[in-house]
Amino acid sequence: MADVSGEAAASAGQSGTGDSASGNQTLSKRQMKKLLKQQKWEEERELRKQKRKERKQQRKQQRQNTQQENRGDGQSARKRPRREVAPSALRLVVDCSFDDLMLIKDVRKLHKQIQRCYAENRRALHPVQLYLTSLGGQLKQSMDEKDKGWVNWKDITIKEEHYSKVVAKDELVYLTSDSPNVLGELDQKKAYVIGGLVDHNHHKGITYERAKELGIEHAQLPLSSFVKMNSRKVLAVNHVFEIILAYLEKGSWQEAFFTVLPQRKGAVAVSQDQTNPQENDDNEEEESSSDSDLDAAEQTEIRD
């Protein structure tokens, strides 16, 4: 029995020695090196954190120094000076009741012009009270398809009703170049109507006739009093709109006209051209074949 126990003990001792030797051999040199590296990384964690904090402080200080230098040199060139916006009480109404007289391509041009009016009014120094009336048909369909965000437009009144149902008739003035009346000053109590019609002269005089039928006031912008053009006097919806915005800002019709009118119309001041005004009016009927390649906002006819 004693011999058996001794042999068992010896055997166990040899087994323990083998396990110990096996344990020492489990880590290779590469593993040991990796372990030491990990231990070092853990020991230096706080040091790295401190360095990151210092670099962050340095970048913050650099930004502050740069801002102080910019303030010392004046306003940053990237920032435009903020102008004091003073909204006008003047109302401008785009009459969209001519939908059935236009082709879809012309309706889309009108849509673009209305977008331009909205955008210009939003950044104007004296934004007007903008109205869209008689909205429906092809125009509304185009707006729904091409510009779904129009339903979120701000500072604009959009109505399906005719403008005569939205504004009192004695406050309305239809802007049409066929009117014998020439607009002098803008009356802040009035609502000026711009005919939203892209017809390429197929319905000449229609806005004037509509105004007379309704018994409302009508007038034309004083274009001939200040400007000579080598092309037609008819203007796009957005041009009429922008001219009025410019007039509200500058207080001068001539400055307003030359700020807005496209150069391709060959506009010159009346004092620089002694051509008989009647000759220019006669040329108004002539349609150049080059009109087809004009920008949509410039080739559209609107009785200004």
Residues 58 and 276: their CA atoms lie apart, in Å, by: 72
* Spatial CA neighbour of 280 closest among 245, 228, 238: 228
The structure tokens listed for 137 are 């048909």
Is the separation of the CB atoms in 35 and 43 below 8 Å?
Answer: no
Catalytic residue among 95, 99, 106, 199: 199
* Spatial CA neighbour of 135 closest among 108, 189, 95: 95
199 is catalytic: yes
Residues 258 and 253: their CA atoms lie apart, in Å, by: 9
Residues 58 and 54: their CA atoms lie apart, in Å, by: 6
Residues 285 and 304: their CA atoms lie apart, in Å, by: 15
List residues with catalytic annotation.
199
